[in-house]
Structures are given as structure tokens and as C-alpha cells.
Amino acid sequence: MRREGPLNRIDLRCTGSGRRCCRRRRLGLDAAFEENQGVTAMKTEHAEWIERYLDRCGRNPRGRCSSATAEMIVVFPELTRVPGVIYYDGGWSSEHFWCVDYDGDIVDPTAAQFKNITHYAPWQPGDEVQVGRCMNCGVAIYEAVFALGGDIRRDHCSRECLEELLREFNANIDKQPREDGTNADA
């Protein structure tokens, strides 16, 4: 798979043959990721489930893509949950979860939180994802990961930030009152 263009479009053309030649074919992604296609037509039962889900969450699905897709694949086992990045409204992007059915249609229960989705790009091993936010300077921390899940969270962006954070933490510990009412540095 190669990456190209301003939307980091993934070329999902299969070089193999047959119905089960690759993971992309198994997930039914052939038609789903054409540039500017966005969400394709979905089955009525999927659309109805999404409407009921949006009613349950007060029509505000923001930040619920992981839980919504996890719920949806329990109800519809023919769907596959896909982690990745979506591009929307003028080149903005966001880490996101959606589902695809075997026909290649994207079924995104929380698409309503975005305006004008232009492209879905599934996560691939080695892609960079946000693994945390530095507790010292607040910068978002991104790393290339080869498996999602597990212990990939980070709380500092550099050794310098970690050392500064520990100095501040230790300085505050010394100022905490002891049980006898005196300070540790007294």
C-alpha cells in the first residue's frame, strides 16, 4: 500500500486474486475508501440502529466512536471495527473508529460529530498515533506503533520534561506537612 496526496490517501488496490486474497478484501474496503466518497449508503437496519444510538446519547456522539463501534459489532457481527484517521472539512483530521460491512460500505455510528467527511484512512502497523500528552509541557505525544492496545501510553515527551516534572514533584513533596505538623524540609 502506498500513501499519496494531501489527504494521505491509501491505495487499497489488491494485487492478488480471488475472494480472500488479502486483509483489505476480507474487510470489504474496495469501494469504501475512494477519495471524497465519505460514508456510502448503508443498510436500513444499520441506519436505524445509529438513529436509536444518537437518541440515547442526546444526539451528541462526540468522543464516543470507540464505544459506539464496540456496541455495534455485538449487534451486527457481520461488521468489522476499523481504527484509523478520518479527514474532514478542509483537511482537518481526527483519530477515529468506524465499521465496514463485507460489501465495503462504511458504517460510522458517530459520523454526525464531523462536518463533510472526505476520507477514511484505516490504521496500519507503523502509523503514528497519539500515545499521550506531556504532563509537564502539555504537548501531544505521537509515536509509530505496530499494535494497538496494550501499554503504549506516554506521560512525558522528553527526558528533560520528565526531569523537570520530577524536580517539581519532589520539591512539593518536601513542602508537605508531616503528621507532627512540621515540614519535611524543616
Model pLDDT, residue 186: 54
Residues 6+ apart with CB under 8 A from 12: 1, 24, 29, 30, 33
Q: How far is CA 174 from the centre of its chain?
A: 40
What mean pLDDT comes out for the span 143-150? 84
Residue 34's pLDDT band (boundaries 50, 70, 90)? very low
Return all residues near 79 (Cβ < 8 A) that are at least 6 apart.
Answer: 46, 72, 73, 99, 100, 101, 107
Q: Which alpha helices (H) appear in 57-178, and where do they start and end?
A: 65-75, 159-175
> What is the arithmetic mean of pLDDT over 150-155?
83
* Assigned C-alpha cell, 23: 486483509
Asked if residues 93 and 87 have their Cβ atoms less than 8 Å apart, the reply is yes
Q: What is the pTM of this model?
A: 0.61
Q: What pLDDT is attached to residue 129? A: 86
